[in-house]
Structure 1
Amino acid sequence: MLNDQVAIITGASRGIGREIAQQFSKESTKLSLVGRSEDIHKAAQELKSSGFEHVISIQADVSKEEDVQKIVDETLSAYGKIDILVNNAGVGFFKPTEEVTADEWKKIFEVNVQGVFLCSKAVLPHMKEQKFGTIITISSDVARYTIPNGSAYVATKYAVQGFCGSLAQEVREYGIRVGTINPGMVDTYFADSKQGLPEKEDWLKVEDIAKSVIYMASAPKHMLIDEIKIHPFAQDYPIA
């Protein structure tokens, strides 16, 4: 089913985004990989080296409207359509609210919220025209509850959850599905951490999140998966 589709994946240079790309390549989905740094080209080359040919890489900042338009234009030029958007790009930090600067607050909202808005908005005309599309946003379990020292990050995830819920209602008449994946603790590079640290041994792996994306994207057209919430057994979290 996914081998006839075209997917844009943001934040695909490493971590969860890179693994999402790997999983989609196994489904023979045509890929447009997006990242802010030149590392995005390495991620695409890695797939090509493994024998997967249908992949392009685009260096772009999802918080900038002109960059997002470039993503859409280059994807359409390469493949002629857009079926799937995976909003994976995101940043995070954790500190007491009084230590958060206005610039930090602005930046996290630009990437985590504005990026999701701009990318989703940009693909909608094309998905509406073909009467089909899937928009998946990698959010967080803190879109459903709060934690101390996370006011900025948590606020962005609540905003994303609200945006995606409203968007889903707007576009369902066009056959477009919108869903979120809200993971708990994942062993990745998030918040300037390192992947593979001993203390993360029992956390979720990037493969767990990527396979959830494939599951959501490959659901039959009559089925909408609104949200997937995943936690490692090792994580204690509020029930919400």
Structure 2
Amino acid sequence: MDLTGKVAIVTGASKGIGRATVEALLARGAAVAGWGRTAPEGLVHERFQFFECDVRDEVAVAEALTNTQRELGPEIHVLVNNAGLGIAGAVDGFKTDDWKLMFDTNVHGTFFCSRAVLPQMKRQQVGHIINIASIAGTTGIENMAGYCASKFAVRGFSQSLFKEVRNHGIKVTCVSPGSTQTNFFDDIPGTTPNDAMMSPADIAGFIIYSLETPFNFHVVEVEMRPLQPKK
């Protein structure tokens, strides 16, 4: 897809992978709607607009889509489901509210946003949904059961969705990054971002590559890992 003039929605646009993806899309000529609870600080661009949206709330998602289409036009070509969070803890001491918060954001938010844009993408017979999962969605991690379970769910959702919509010209790509230098680790004990990790721009670069693939094929799922994580 040539991204020039296309309309893209990025959730969780304020920091990390979300912000890097917004900047990469703008550099490729797209008009970008950033959805999130907090606007990206200092990001001003004639083709960027921020719409306050809590992806856990399906009504808020519907309103954000209405506002996006009013401001940027009816067509929606790209959705990047990036909003997410991780909370660590042993299962037998884990708070129910924290468990629900991860699933409401990571899983239900991905579902609400995808469901919202699909009717327009089907009318267009073209579109691309990028779901950000995690290496934690491919293997269990001690004291991260809730986060792993939510990201396994994102992968299962993505694999099912791509089979549903491929005949409508809609691509679905699930990206599972390994350790990346973001604020994700602020609430994860024992891990701090470091230069051996991937950068948000690394992930954004792959997202752009995936979006720009020719119409006749798409990348269904990919893992991304640091080359020398222990260095």
Separation (CA, whole Å) in 2 of partners of 1:73 and 1:202: 41
Q: Which residue of the partner structure matches residue 10 of structure 1?
A: 11
2:217 pairs with 1:223: yes
Q: Which residue of the partner structure matches residue 72 of structure 2?
A: 79
Q: Which residue of the partner structure matches residue 168 of structure 2?
A: 174
Give the C-alpha shift of residue 147 in structure 1. 1.0
Report how many residues are paired.
Answer: 226
Is the 2:8–2:30 Cα contact (8 Å) retained in structure 1? yes
| Equivalent residue in structure 2 for 1:164, among 158, 165, 183 | 158
Q: Give the share of equivalent positions with the same residue, in percent.
A: 36
Please identify runs of 4+ aligned residues in structure 1 that moved more than 4 A. none
Unaligned runs of 5+ in 1: none
Separation (CA, whole Å) in 2 of partners of 1:56 and 1:126: 20
Is the 1:179–1:225 Cα contact (8 Å) retained in structure 2? yes
2:63 pairs with 1:70: yes
Give the 3-state SS of the residue equivalent to 2:181 in structure 1: coil
Q: Which residue of the partner structure matches residue 20 of structure 2?
A: 19
- Range that drifts further, 135-144 or 120-129: 135-144
Q: Which residue of the partner structure matches residue 135 of structure 2?
A: 141
Give the 3-state SS of the residue equivalent to 2:139 in structure 1: coil
Give the C-alpha shift of residue 112 in structure 1. 0.3
Q: Which residue of the partner structure matches residue 235 of structure 1?
A: 229
Deviation by residue 1:94-130 (Cα, 9 ceiling, x = unmatched): 1111121111111110000000000000000000000
Unaligned runs of 5+ in 2: none
Give the 3-state SS of the residue equivalent to 1:4 in structure 2: coil
Is the 2:180–2:193 Cα contact (8 Å) retained in structure 1? no
Counterpart code for 1:89:
A
Separation (CA, whole Å) in 2 of partners of 1:158 and 1:113: 9
Q: Which residue of the partner structure matches residue 115 of structure 2?
A: 121
Counterpart code for 1:160:
V
Structure 1 residues 199 and 137, CA gap change in structure 2 (3 angstroms): closer
TM-score in terms of structure 2 length: 0.93
Deviation by residue 1:78-102 (Cα, 9 ceiling, x = unmatched): 2221000000000101111112111
